Amino acid sequence: MTTATPAPDQPLRAAPDTFARREWPRAAWYAAAYDVEVGAHLLPRTVAGASLVLFRTPSGEARALENACWHRLLPLSEGKLLGDEVMCGYHGLRYDADGRCTFMPSQKTVNPSARVRSYPVVELHRFVWVWTGDPADADPAAIPDLHWNDDPAWAGDGRRIHVDCNYKLIVDNLMDLTHETFVHGGSIGHRSVAEAPFEVTHAEGTVTVTRWMIDVEAPPFWARQLEWRGAPAGNVDRWQIIHFTPPGTIAIDVGVAPTGTGAPEGDRSQGVNGFVLNTMTPESPTSTHYFWAFARNYALTDQRITTLLRDGVSGVFAEDEEVLAAQQRAIDAHPDKDFYNLNIDGGAMWARRMIDLMLAAEDDSYAAAGARAERDIAEHDRTDPGDGGEREVARARAEAERARSGS
């Protein structure tokens, strides 16, 4: 289903109260680490409020245990990894990879209740994913699709950022890319991003925001890539197609192609295409592990380009990190203030509805928010059949034509 850019004279609406609520779903897969972070050592990490210790067994399998000894609660990450067992650094209790205690000092028998929680773990798309809900419900098929991160048809790299803000603020940031014009003017930003029409579509468990910018100047980040490809200089058709999977994964299909070479119709062969891969893991109500990568589908073996793009995107996200941390500080300093929504917040609003539905399914205190989300979705589906994004491409072309003619 589709939501076109709302009319510019539409009145401001106060954000729903869930904009101020910081909880996250428990029944979800969260990225706990990049695969290269987890090895034959103890790695502490807090995932969705749960303190974990991550490690690899001698066979190379990634595991996650509760990071607190059953005996006196010292973090197990303060101990040692002995083969496939974790030894507490305080009194030497040992736990196997499933969290069961196998040794207690100064006694022959082991208390059968001595164990720490073990969390389901799956490695996929270069991430180590942890399920924080009921282990019986842990279905690997529900892990968000970020296959570009290890697909042989794509090349790229990324990093983890520790951001001092609630994870929903990062979701908001990525679902509304008009901020590029004002935050990232020296790299990916351009006034066309804030001016171009966009469209929001949703299906069960997903939200998509589509924006096309026709016959515009390529910002530095993209102009350099076109140069690497040997594409002719000049204006471009640019796209941003944002795919959200709740509670916190966003894959953004981005790129540019010389104007008139057929990108809006589906032929991107004359341009450059990338995917910005993002998955946000809440650490606490005011901090987030933000995992990202940028993947491209050209010059796959050129490590120089991979490094340059990774470092370039790192600089862009550093600018976001400053803004988001400042926003969180302001929210904490003004607990009596409300958020208000503009037309540009349509994608973020739909993402929040999806998160509310997940929360309502496991927390009765979210029942009202979940019911409101269901009503909003039903009402929208009844009144807007959608058109697959063609309307926004047509509007972008019309805007470009008006700009050329000076009208």
To the question of domain 2-22+143-405 being in CATH 3.30.460.10, the answer is no
pLDDT at 407: 47
Determine the Cα–Cα distance for residues 170 and 173; give it in Å rounded to an integer.
5
Domain extents in the chain: 2-22+143-405, 29-132
Let me know: does 375 contact 353? Beta carbons within 8 Å: no
Return the half-sphere exposure (C-beta side, CA atoms, 13 A cut-off) of residue 285.
Answer: 8
pTM (two decimals): 0.88
Query: 């695969």: which residue's tokens?
Result: 35
Q: Which of 167, 202, 210 is nearest to 376 (CA)?
A: 202
pLDDT in tens, the chain (407 residues): 555 554 444 444 555 555 566 689 999 999 999 999 999 999 999 999 999 999 999 999 999 999 999 999 999 999 999 999 999 999 999 999 999 999 999 998 999 999 999 999 999 999 999 999 999 999 999 999 999 999 999 999 999 999 999 999 999 999 987 766 666 666 665 566 566 788 999 888 899 999 998 999 988 889 999 999 888 879 999 999 999 999 999 999 999 999 999 999 999 999 999 999 999 999 999 999 999 999 999 999 999 999 999 998 888 888 888 889 999 999 999 988 888 777 777 888 899 999 999 999 998 888 888 888 788 777 766 555 455 455 555 555 555 555 555 54
Let me know: does 64 contact 44? Beta carbons within 8 Å: no
Residue type, 129: W
Tokens in use for 244?
């959200």
pLDDT at 383: 55
Let me know: does 140 contact 263? Beta carbons within 8 Å: no
Query: 């979705």: which residue's tokens?
Result: 377
Query: 């005011």: which residue's tokens?
Result: 286
Which fold is adopted by the domain 29-132? Rieske Iron-sulfur Protein (2.102.10)
Q: Which of 78, 53, 57 is nearest to 66 (CA)?
A: 53
Determine the Cα–Cα distance for residues 296 and 175; give it in Å rounded to an integer.
21
Pairing of strands 50-56, 43-47: antiparallel
Residue type, 399: E
